[in-house]
């Protein structure tokens, strides 16, 4: 058997080192720490998440292990699971990047019974820990799963009842000849009668729309809208 040259030995050593690096990288990926996903949701932009965060921060502080935390905050309705930040969280779950999901209360995840039931099943299948701080639900037990599904159904029920009340109120208002929502005909939102008079006066004087808008302190679209409604007789400038 022919003895290997120094060049051949160096090549083999380099190949072995390359294989070791690839193997080490693969092992590192397997051991990559999964995130603790904290999901916070309010229904509208006018609502604040301040009521949820204190309890969540206390929970984080109470944990003994160092957490790899990632926050997901939505300002969207819970009627559907299709929400911007939830979609990103769902993608992380699908990519096996989430080890634990934490919420302040179960209904913050959503108010759709079918969507939440599907989520509970997925969390179990992927062995993702679930923590609902206010509800204290354990999806690893039969009783915990039952409570979770009951609460999900209650959340969905509350949405349906609210919608029924709104529809009932609209029907009563319509039967009484009243308007439901919107502005009273002949009124302009955030534009005073004095501003309307000034707009019309300056337009008759031949002033440019840009000049009128700057003088009165409203945007050009509002100026055009005022002039159109004055022309149609919907509002009076006098």
Q: Are strands 69-75 and 98-103 parallel, antiparallel or unpaired?
A: unpaired
pLDDT given for residue 30 in this prediction:
46
Q: Which two tokens stand for residue 188?
A: 């302009």
Q: Structural domains in the chain?
A: 35-156 (3.40.50.1390), 183-238 (1.10.10)
Provide the annotated active-site residues: 43
pLDDT given for residue 45 in this prediction:
84
Asked if residues 134 and 104 have their Cβ atoms less than 8 Å apart, the reply is yes
- Among all chains, which residue has been given the structure tokens 């999806």? 139
pLDDT given for residue 95 in this prediction:
92
pLDDT given for residue 136 in this prediction:
80
pLDDT given for residue 179 in this prediction:
57
How far apart, in whole angstroms, are the C-alpha atoms of residue 220 and residue 226? 10
Q: Are strands 98-103 and 129-132 parallel, antiparallel or unpaired?
A: parallel
- pLDDT per residue, tens digit, the chain (238 aa), is 566 576 776 777 677 677 766 655 554 444 567 999 999 999 888 888 889 999 999 999 998 888 899 999 999 988 888 999 999 999 999 999 999 999 999 889 888 888 888 888 898 889 998 988 988 877 767 666 667 677 667 666 565 656 666 666 767 767 776 655 555 554 555 778 888 889 999 989 999 998 998 888 888 888 888 888 888 777 766 6
pTM across the whole model: 0.54
Residue count (the chain):
238
Contacts of 77 (CB under 8 A, 6+ apart): 43, 83
């Amino acid at each position: 058997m022919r003895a290997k040259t120094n060049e051949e030995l160096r090549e083999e050593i380099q190949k072995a080192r390359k294989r070791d690096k690839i193997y080490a990288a693969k092992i590192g990926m397997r051991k990559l720490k999964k995130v603790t996903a904290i999901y916070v949701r309010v229904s509208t932009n006018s609502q604040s998440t301040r009521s949820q965060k204190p309890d969540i921060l206390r929970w984080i502080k109470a944990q003994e292990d160092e957490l790899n935390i990632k926050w997901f905050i939505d300002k969207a309705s819970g009627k559907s699971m299709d929400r911007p930040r939830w979609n990103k969280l769902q993608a992380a779950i699908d990519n096996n990047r989430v080890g634990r999901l934490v919420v302040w209360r179960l209904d913050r995840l959503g108010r759709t019974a079918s969507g939440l039931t599907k989520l509970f099943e997925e969390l179990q299948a992927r062995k993702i820990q679930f923590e609902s701080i206010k509800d204290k639900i354990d999806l690893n037990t039969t009783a915990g799963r039952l409570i979770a599904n009951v609460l999900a159904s209650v959340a969905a029920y509350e949405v349906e009842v609210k919608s029924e009340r709104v529809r009932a109120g609209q029907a009563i208002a319509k039967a009484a000849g009243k308007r439901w929502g919107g502005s009273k005909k002949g009124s302009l939102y955030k534009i005073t009668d004095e501003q309307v008079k000034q707009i019309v006066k300056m337009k008759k004087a031949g002033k440019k729309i840009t000049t009128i808008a700057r003088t009165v302190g409203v945007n050009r679209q509002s100026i055009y809208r005022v002039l159109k409604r004055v022309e149609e007789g919907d509002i009076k400038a006098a």
